[in-house]
Amino acid sequence: MRLRNKPWAKPLIEANPQFITTDPKKYRSAWQERFKKKAPLFVEIGTGKGQFIIEMAQEYPERNFIGIELQTSVAAVVLKKQLELKLNNLQLICANGSGVSEYFENGEVTGIYLNFSDPWPKKKQAKRRLTYPTFLEQYKMVLEEKGHLEFKTDNRGLFEYSLMSMNNFGMVFDKVSLDLHQSEEAEQNIMTEYEEKFSQRGQVIYKLEAHF
């Protein structure tokens, strides 16, 4: 997702440190203090405009959520929604997910969501895929022992790559769906913006759940 540069984005982020940070290292091992109550922590990397993480926060008030988005203009769109909703179990980070082990203490996170991550299809771009081994290493560090990773995509190439990458890393698969919307999970599935767009075009959605 690319949005045109929004001049208001950076000032809006700077004016609302209670909901969003560009310096997540500052809160390492202290994230729970940013929420109204202590609760298991779930992190989405690459929120886009935030439909998924916002609906998750509304649906599961007994959990705390953090959305990480790299692009300032996109993170500011999520922030705008949060400024209206003021969900007390949602915090935002505007930073690169590649630093996730610097943002969270070992075992601080219960679940990680990757939704419709950029596929980076060229071989030389593989290192940027959010399921590349250097990312998996970091997820392993920050996830608690029983923590898990959920990944959805419409991109078959990225899905196959991710299955192999996680399998080679020694991860254990709890669920694999080759057509999420026709599966028994469909009813409780919370859709992302990309998921709505691609499924309306008739594309199949893949999903996996795995742990280390």
- Annotated binding-site residue numbers: 44, 69, 96, 118, 122, 154, 192-195
| Rounded to 5°, angle at Cα 27 from 26 and 29 | 125
Our finding on whether 97 is near ligand SAM (CB under 6 A) is: yes
| x/- map, 106-145, ligand SAM, by CB under 6 A | ---------xxxx---------------------------
CB atoms within 10 A of CB 123: 6
Single out the residue of 65, 159, 194, 206 in contact with ligand SAM (rule: CB under 6 A): 194
| Dihedral sign from CA coordinates of 68, 71, 72, 75 | negative
CB atoms within 10 A of CB 142: 21
Single out the residue of 88, 96, 168, 182 in contact with ligand SAM (rule: CB under 6 A): 96
Cα–Cα distance between 162 and 145 in angstroms, integer? 21
CB atoms within 10 A of CB 199: 15
Our finding on whether 21 is near ligand SAM (CB under 6 A) is: no
161-181 per-residue burial string, b: 16 or more CB within 10 A, e: under 16: bbbebbeebebeeeeebeebe
Q: Which of residues 64-93 bind ligand SAM (CB under 6 A)?
A: 68-71, 74
Q: Return the bridge partners of 207, or none.
A: 152, 177
Annotation says 118 is catalytic:
yes
Our finding on whether 20 is near ligand SAM (CB under 6 A) is: no
Nearer Cβ to ligand SAM, position 97 or 147?
A: 97
Q: Which residues are annotated as a binding site for substrate?
A: 122, 154, 192-195
CB of 95 to ligand SAM, least distance (A): 7
Which residues contact ligand SAM (rule: CB under 6 A)?
1, 45-48, 68-71, 74, 96-98, 115-118, 192-195
Active site residues: 118
